[in-house]
Structure 1
Amino acid sequence: MHKWEILLPGVPITTNLGFLGLCSIVLMRLDDKYVIFDPGHYGNREPLLSALRNRGLNVHDIDYVVLSHLHFDHAINTLLFPKARIIISRSEVDYALSNSNDPYLVTYLIDLVRDRLIVVNDGDELLGARFVLLPGHTGGTMGLLLEDKTLLTGDAIKYMSEAVNRRASFAYYSGELANESITKALGIARVIIPGHDAPFIVEGNSIKPLMDEPFNFQLTIRGRIRLAIVNE
Structure 2
Amino acid sequence: MLTKVFPGKSSAGALGLSTCALLRAPGHTLLFDTAAHGVIKTIQNSLARLEVAPETVDTIFLSHMHYDHLNNAAYYPNAQIIVGRSEWEYATTSKDEWTPLESVLYLQHCRQVRLVDDGEEILPGIRAIWTPGHTPGHMSLAVDTPKGVVVLAGDAVKNRSELELEYSDQYVDQQASTASIKKIKSMAYKVLPGHDGYLLVQDGKVVPEQELVLDIMLPRGCMDGDNGVYHLSVK
| Alpha-carbon distance between aligned partners in 2 of 1:184 and 1:226, rounded to the nearest angstrom | 44
Equivalent in 54, 60, 74 of residue 55 of structure 2 = 60
Residue 120 (structure 2) aligned to one of 117, 124, 138: 124
- In the alignment of these two chains, the number of paired residues is 221
Shift of 1:137: 0.5
Contact 1:131 1:143 in 2 (8 A): yes
Where in structure 2 are the equivalents of 1:192-231 lying within 5 Å? 192-211=191-210, 214-222=211-219
3-state SS of the aligned residue for 1:50? helix
Per-residue deviation, residues 194-218 of structure 1 (Å, max 9, x unmatched) = 000111111232221123xx13322
Distance 2:26 2:212 in 1: 28
Tell me the TM-score normalised to structure 2 length.
0.88
Give the structure 1 partner of residue 75 of structure 2: 80
Which amino acid letter does the alignment assign opposite residue 14 of structure 1?
A: K
User: Aligned partners of 2:118, 2:203: CA distance in 1, in Å?
Assistant: 24
Q: How far is 1:226 from its partner?
A: 7.7
Residue matched to 1:3: none
Query: Does 2:106 match 1:112?
Result: yes
Aligned partners of 1:189 and 1:70: how far apart in 2? 24
Q: Which amino acid aligns with 2:178?
A: N
The answer (yes or no) to whether the contact 2:6–2:213 under 8 Å persists in 1 is: no
Q: State the Cα deviation string for residues 70-91 of structure 1 (Å, max 9, x = none).
A: 0001111011110000111011
Structure 1 gaps of 5+ residues are 1-5
1:103 is aligned, of 97, 100, 116, to 97
List aligned pairs for 1:33-72, cutoff 5 A: 33-72=28-67
Query: Given residue 205 of structure 1, which amino acid in structure 2 is its aligned partner?
Result: G
CA RMSD of aligned residues (A): 1.9
Going from structure 1 to structure 2, the CA distance change for 1:15 and 1:225 (only over 3 Å counts) comes to farther
Q: Percent identity over the alignment?
A: 27
Q: Distance in 2 between the 1:50 and 1:120 partners?
A: 31
Q: How far apart in 2 are the matches of 1:25 and 1:59? A: 14
Q: Kindly provide the CA deviation profile for residues 158-181 of structure 1, in whole angstroms up to 9, marking residues without a partner as x.
A: 01110110111221x211111111
How much has 1:225 moved relative to structure 2?
9.3
Residue 162 of structure 2 corresponds to: 162
Structure 2 counterparts to residues 159-198 of structure 1, below 5 A: 159-171=159-171, 173-198=172-197
Q: Secondary structure of the residue that 1:177 maps to in structure 2?
A: helix
Residues 31 and 127 in structure 1, CA contact (< 8 A), matched pair in contact too = no
- Answer whether contact 2:91 2:104 (CA < 8 A) is retained: no
TM-score by length of 1: 0.89
Q: Provide the residue aligned with 2:141 in structure 1.
A: 144
Q: Which runs of 4+ in 1 moved over 2 A?
A: 106-111, 223-229
